[in-house]
Amino acid sequence: MRAIFLGPPGSGKGTQAKLLAERMGVPAISTGDMLREAVRLETPLGLRAKAIMEAGELVPDDVVIGLIRERISRPDARGGFLLDGFPRTLPQVAALDRLLAGNGESLDAVINLLVPEATLVERMVGRAAIEGRSDDRPETVRERLRVYSEKTAPLIDHYGGRGIRIDVDGSGSIEEVSARIDRAAAMRAGGRS
């Protein structure tokens, strides 16, 4: 399975992608995790990305596309992968389509997590307190949600038009959301048989 997790910051994309990846035996690929690791290690990419991320903005496409190109070419991703945090813009969608087409592949599904904004803010501010993430301060959270609405929300309609989007209620416990994702994925797989 080659799939994308969509949803606003704090919707649980990363958690759910990792859990589904474990169940399916494919890698969960998080651009956010890759970028935070580069920041932590103070690599040239990390230093470039740090100020952008702390302002709540999106890291430039060329940087993120390069990370994804390298990561999906690794042997563990040949049987499929789950992307969390990419694509975030329509130009990134086009870049991903080109990368996959170059390998004779395509996306199987786009899992879109739906969560009310008040829940998102509560989750992210709580996560900032626990994990010490500078990109989850209240003012940065509001900016991240604004950027998501402006740049990433158009992907929801785009993938809906391609017939591969699966909307899943992202509210509730991790286990409840996982069960909803499994049911939706099973229904989609059954519909393609």
> What's the start-to-end Cα distance of the chain, in Å?
15
**Which one from 18, 48, 127, 188 is the annotated catalytic residue?**
127
Q: Does the CA dihedral 159-164-170-174 come out positive or negative?
A: negative
Rounded-to-integer distance, Cα 40 and Cα 135, Å: 13
88 is catalytic: yes
- Give the separation between CA 20 and CA 156, rounded to whole angstroms: 20
The one catalytic residue among 13, 36, 123, 165: 13
Which of 18, 48, 133, 188 does the annotation list as catalytic? 133
- Rounded distance, CA 93 to CA 88, Å? 8
**Contact (CB, 8 A) for 28 and 18:** yes
40 labelled catalytic: no
72-108 burial, b at 16+ Cβ within 10 Å, e below that, comes to beeeebeebbbbbbbbbbeebbebbeeeeeeeeeebe
User: Active site residue: 2, 36, 123, 144, which one?
Assistant: 144
| Catalytic annotation, pick one of 2, 71, 88, 123 | 88
Beta-ladder partners of 6: 112
Q: Is 13 a catalytic residue?
A: yes
User: Based on the number of CB atoms within 10 Å of its own CB, is 70 exposed (0-12), middle (13-18) or buried (19 or more)?
Assistant: exposed
183 in catalytic set: no
Residues annotated as part of the active site: 13, 88, 127, 133, 144
